[in-house]
Structure 1
């Protein structure tokens, strides 16, 4: 729930339990505060965070709202005693959970999971909804960023921040992965700046640039934030960095095609490349939910044109995808063996003696 700091926030909800007359609202921040609000005959309810309450919201996105629904009217089994400063519950609530909820060394916001368990599992029929509070001081909205190759990327958008406000821009890969201690992020992360300029209709504009020339192709998250630490204003958007249109292989590449024992690969030249929706995942049978799931027996041929063509075990092409960060990360099933020693620049994955993936890299390392 996005909340403007310093202004009242009205939350409207619906209780789907017939006959209840109240819900209990928990506000978790540096302290715990609860209040009960009436439920109307049509099941709707409303509570308000006052301007003073929203003004105190921090910028670390830790404040939470928990809405507790009783099993029957008035039957709230987990409660907060403001006088003692302790949370209480039914006798079946385990002592270790109660102890965590009342640990004064921790901010109440880190105990929302324990509160959820206390209410839903041990609350004698109570249940709850959890909402994260996202406070902000000013509006920021990015214009659509179209897929583009690495280079100087222009970003722009609208805001109600005053003209001259400095903004920071970050572009970071959407595919996080384990890294060594001194990992070089220059191919997966880039920074830039933007500045707000006067606009019309009470909306100013911002624009800036980011040098993405070192970034590998892939899905990235672009975030824009106000540099002033006293103001909370941010926005983000996903975008694709696609491979440059002209590349040539380094020549230091070798593939022993005859050793691969592949079926004839039937290339579909009309199939347009797309960006993978996540890192590659080898599955027994594709569910079709995302394009990064590949079934056992898949053959991937990453060509010199920066496009990886994906074939089923019979050699029929099923997908064309950009050679990207997502294409370079592979989740394999437990017990699988990875072999890169056969056929030159080829990776094979086997499970129980059966080859379940053949990934061919025709381009080697690119040079400009």
Structure 2
């Protein structure tokens, strides 16, 4: 079946939460490596300290390897997933040609697929030993509000501290404060500064000494013109001033989503829509992939010119879904050429062939409850969330 020239990829997110999400319609930016620098106060220069490389499988972060400045492996983390959620994280140290396990974290989730608890254990010569456990609690908006930290002492769990999190009217995190259970006094806190659209600009750590909060460390976050994090700068509080301490540089590769012929780049603060054949040349000259981002603009972005005047060409029901979903096509000028069902992390679960049908039914009976992506070749990119019970 032939698809009209302006038909693009349509994505529907099927999730328990029922909240509509937005996503970049053109690119997927994937961090490949992070270069970490320490600040040398003798010569006032940043010096390379380590490099971390990210490795992916099916679009999901599988492992990270940190090396020395000579590119000699030092440590590694490996992520294990279960039903699309990280279930454990293993940390290793390099010893010769071998990797030796040093720590593991196990994650457990509630019925809403939110992190409910995390248990950290460490390797002690010949056995695993408990280290910490964290228990998480949420408000009715699913914002994390409180978590407890216990530590392992004398073969039993001991309540160590409790962290409380505070949000502004936009649900942006502004403060996280911890106090010690043993003394019932403040211990440390993090203060967060955000842009009008929710990007984190800085986080400041303060410790509670005597009767007042004292600055300790700060991290500032730097974004490119498209709103992608490119650098962080660490500072420490010395003699009443913030002094440089560290820096990270983050490098990405950008995956172009299928069906794109013209894409946006941010060029000198202006968004240009270019043919994909020109993309490499623009990136080589310092343009970033995507529409220009204004961190102070909290208004909703206007629709792309190709989206104006268009309506969603189909409906999906029932919502929530139990055994099946039905897709009813409502615009024959932009037919569907194929449908792909994926899990929440983009891994294919099922492909459905189409031949111009007006009504398509997809059986969900064999799938677990949770999050899935329904990818449809149609006229533009939408994101909506429906429930699979």
TM-score, normalised on structure 2? Answer: 0.20
- For CA contacts below 8 A with separation 6 or more, give which structure has more relative contact order: 2
Q: If each structure's strand is expressed as a fraction of its own residues, which one has the higher value?
A: 2
Q: If each structure's helix is expressed as a fraction of its own residues, which one has the higher value?
A: 1
